[in-house]
Amino acid sequence: MPMSTNPITRRLALPGWSILRFSLTLVAAALLAAAVISGALVVFWIGIPAAVGVILAIRAWANSQRRIIGEQLGVEIPAPYQPRKRARSDQKALAMVREAATWRDVAWLAIDASLGFLVNLVYLGVFGIAVYYLVQPLLLFTLFRGSDTPAVNDLGFYEFDTPTKTLLLVPFALACGAAWWRWGELFLRWYSRLGVVLLGPTAKVLLTEKVTELRQSRAQTVDHAAAELRRIERDLHDGAQARIAAMGLTLGMAEELLQNERPDAAAKLVGEARVGCSDVLDEIRRVVRGIHPPVLADRGFSGALQAMALDHPLPVAVVDRLRGNLPAPVEAAAYFAVNEVLTNITKHAEATRIWILVEQVDDEVEVEIYDDGSGGAEIVPGGGLNGLRNRLAAFEGSLKVVSPDGGPTVVTMKIPVSATERPVAGARGS
């Protein structure tokens, strides 16, 4: 459970977290000893499976540290490990030993078993002293009233003395309590940030993952573009091209009728050709609209979104909080993404109303689509939502779906806006 954002509640909860962290330092010391012993036994056959087991135990311990530190600091610390492949024990051990993340875990293991032990011991010691010497006088004066009130010696044990000596410990306890309240959390957060540095992925790992993600999204975008080109070619070939060929035959027949001095029949065929020409224009407009909607070019994303809402068969409420116009690639990506989500809602959601919220948060455009349908929508491989997420990934965008059974469904899309193409109010020409 993440820590509370209330400063008082958070400080009062820290001792419990520190006790948990202190217990993990003892586990770290045991794992460090096991790592040294298994490393020495690697020269024998029994040391190989032992080393694999110890490394896996260290990774489990490190993952618990990532979770606890992440909850304390309010951040997410992803595990930087490479996916494990099926292999023999010796090959698996060699691969894990070669991995940089393993040695970073071992480094944090050694630090937590030593420095972490001291950090949490000091924190809990100061807290314990403050509580003990503040509560003790109250208990003593309540239980032992009179001249025989027990006091506390230098070792912290009771001895019968005058109440004055007991009261002298109260300022010391107050000083410890003030120090704990003022600097205790900062002390633990400093140590936790050190853990983030070692337990989190390195810049090289993040860059490698980013390059891999961009390579995959680029390949998916190329495949999608090729599929769109094939669709456009098919629509033109089966639709507009066939109609134009039929118009050519009709006009040829009209020409022959005119040569045979049959103007009435020729005029009838020319009329049919004119109707066919209108149908061809409508077909071409539909194809062009699928490439880049004219309303998007004329009125921008906000106007296109309003037009889309008016054309939808269900009532669609649009809340537009954009501060200006968007770059053309981002507009097109957001437009087609919203259009696909609305189409899916019409087909599958059994909804009665739809709400769309569009806003810009820093350098990111966020579109949230809410419907009151039956829910149950999921992002599955090969599904429409998965394809939409892959297309947004080409813009470093993201797609999140929250759709419990019975509804409602909330689809959230985020698309970053390049700093060089940041939207400016009134940038689009009239």
**pLDDT tens-digit map of 332-344:** 888 888 888 888 8
Per-residue pLDDT, averaged over 76-103, amounts to: 74
**Same domain for 85 and 180:** yes
Range of the domain at 386: 294-421
Same domain, 132 and 244: no
Note the pLDDT of residue 427. Answer: 37
Boundary (domain end) residue, out of 247, 263, 291: 291
List, in sequence order, the alpha helices (H) in 144-240. 163-167, 169-199, 203-235
Nearest alpha-carbon partner for 26 in 117, 105, 89:
117
Pairing state between β 354-361 and 316-321: parallel
- Domain closes at, from 291, 313, 330: 291
Answer yes or no: do 141 and 87 share one domain.
yes
CA R_g for the chain: 35
pLDDT computed for residue 425 by the predictor: 34
Mean pLDDT score, 196-220: 72
Q: How far apart are CA 398 and CA 389, in angstroms?
A: 6
Pick the more confident residue, 275 or 168.
Answer: 275
pTM of the model: 0.50
Is residue 277 domain-shared with residue 321, that is, in the same domain? no
Asked if 194 and 45 sit in the same domain, the reply is: yes
The first and second tokens of residue 350, run together, are: 């059994």
Is residue 325 domain-resident? yes
Q: Are residues 38 and 164 in the same domain?
A: yes
DSSP string, 2-36: PPPSSHHHHHHHHHHHHHHHHHHHHHHHHHHHHHH
**Domain identity same for 23 and 160:** yes
Average the pLDDT over 185-203 and give the result.
Answer: 82
Neighbours of 310 (CB within 10 A): 9
pLDDT in tens, 90-111: 676 677 777 888 888 888 888 9
Statement to judge: residues 341 and 223 lie in one domain? no
122 lies in some domain: yes
